[in-house]
Structure 1
């Protein structure tokens, strides 16, 4: 069995995927808030 050195794995792909996911969720939440405000103002 190979010896594993903690912290030696290249995780740039995982970090990029996580950052992309967080960016998507943040933008989606902002868009939903803007949509809710728009509907609250104009959908009467």
Structure 2
């Protein structure tokens, strides 16, 4: 199977407590900023 559906993305983000109104989500980027000691989640 190739890719993931928008519905699956929506369910995953809801499970981790993220609600959004952008559609469609084409990328999920997770960045770890070692200087700030924070993890960032970007939705594109």
Query: Scaled by the length of structure 2, what TM-score is found?
Result: 0.30
Q: Choose 1 or 2 for highest CA Rg.
A: 1
Q: Could you say which structure has the higher strand fraction? A: 2
Q: Which has the higher contact order (CA 8 A, sep 6+)?
A: 2
Q: Could you say which structure has the higher helix fraction? A: 1
Query: Scaled by the length of structure 1, what TM-score is found?
Result: 0.30
